Copies of this chain bind each other. A is one copy, B any other.
Amino acid sequence: MKLHGYFRSSAAFRVRIALNLKGIRYEDAFHHLRKGEHLKPEYAALNPQKLLPTLQLDDGALLTQSLAIMEYLEETHPNPPLLPKNPVDRARVRALAMIPACEIHPLQNLRVLKHVRETYGQDEAGSFAWARHWNEVGLQAYEDMLTWTAGTGRYSHGDTPTLADTCLVPQVIGAKRFSVDLSRYPTLMKIFEACMKLEAFDKAQPSKQADFEP
């Protein structure tokens, strides 16, 4: 299979982690977000939403939206599992995953920051302040979920990585770009550090991708 992504795309990063955790070999296709390569008709033909990533299967099928792709991987490559067995636990993992995926990242991706700058006359610092705000709101919610509800272990849920961790780690790395004070979220950061010790997370990070630019 081929993963259409970009080194800095937080959503592509999630899928890279899931592929690595499951030991699935894949080919990379990079689309330069800042140069707008994802907006070209060639990419729109793969993904009508013109967002990264897209997972292209060997038979040509095209999967979009990182969480939908990871659920597909879980269904077709169940080992090692990235969701627990019990339905209530699965709901907790998915709810955690959706904090970055629904409540943080969509509010601070490239197109939203551009819109904030162009619509409200903000400079880069202004748009970063916007991004920082939503990272802080969302990461605090994640921290509270970890500390207020049962199930947290070495990772976000139990002692093996789950879909929650595949979403958390890229968000933490993204938050650093916006100068978020991560010391406010000690539980979450401990889990982040534990994840980054795993090769599956480490080799998925932006700085280790072939299209990385400092």
A115 within 8 A of B: yes
In the assembled complex, the CB of A46 is this many whole angstroms from the nearest CB of chain B, namely 10
Query: What 1/0 mask marks residues of chain A from 72 to 107 whose CB sits below 8 Å from any chain B CB?
Result: 100110000000000110111011011101110011
Assess the A115–B133 pair: CB atoms within 8 A. Answer: yes
Which of A62-70, A172-180, A194-202 is near enough to bind chain B?
A: A62-70
Assess the A145–B57 pair: CB atoms within 8 A. Answer: no
Segment 14-53 of A: residues with Cβ below 8 Å from B? 45, 48-51
A183 within 8 A of B: no
In the assembled complex, the CB of A116 is this many whole angstroms from the nearest CB of chain B, namely 8
With A72-B91, A75-B90 as contacts: A102 and B99 at CB distance below 8 Å: no
- Docked complex Cα distance between A97 and B144 (Å): 26
- Docked complex Cα distance between A94 and B49 (Å): 14
A61 within 8 A of B: yes
Q: Which secondary structure dominates where chain A touches chain B?
A: helix
Assess the A88–B119 pair: CB atoms within 8 A. Answer: no
- Docked complex Cα distance between A62 and B112 (Å): 32
Assess the A95–B144 pair: CB atoms within 8 A. Answer: no
- Docked complex Cα distance between A76 and B87 (Å): 7
A211 within 8 A of B: no
Given A48-B144, A68-B94, A115-B133, 19 more contacts at CB 8 Å?
A49-B141, A61-B88, A65-B94, A65-B95, A67-B94, A68-B91, A68-B92, A68-B98, A69-B91, A71-B91, A75-B87, A75-B90, A76-B87, A102-B102, A106-B106, A107-B107, A107-B112, A111-B137, A120-B122
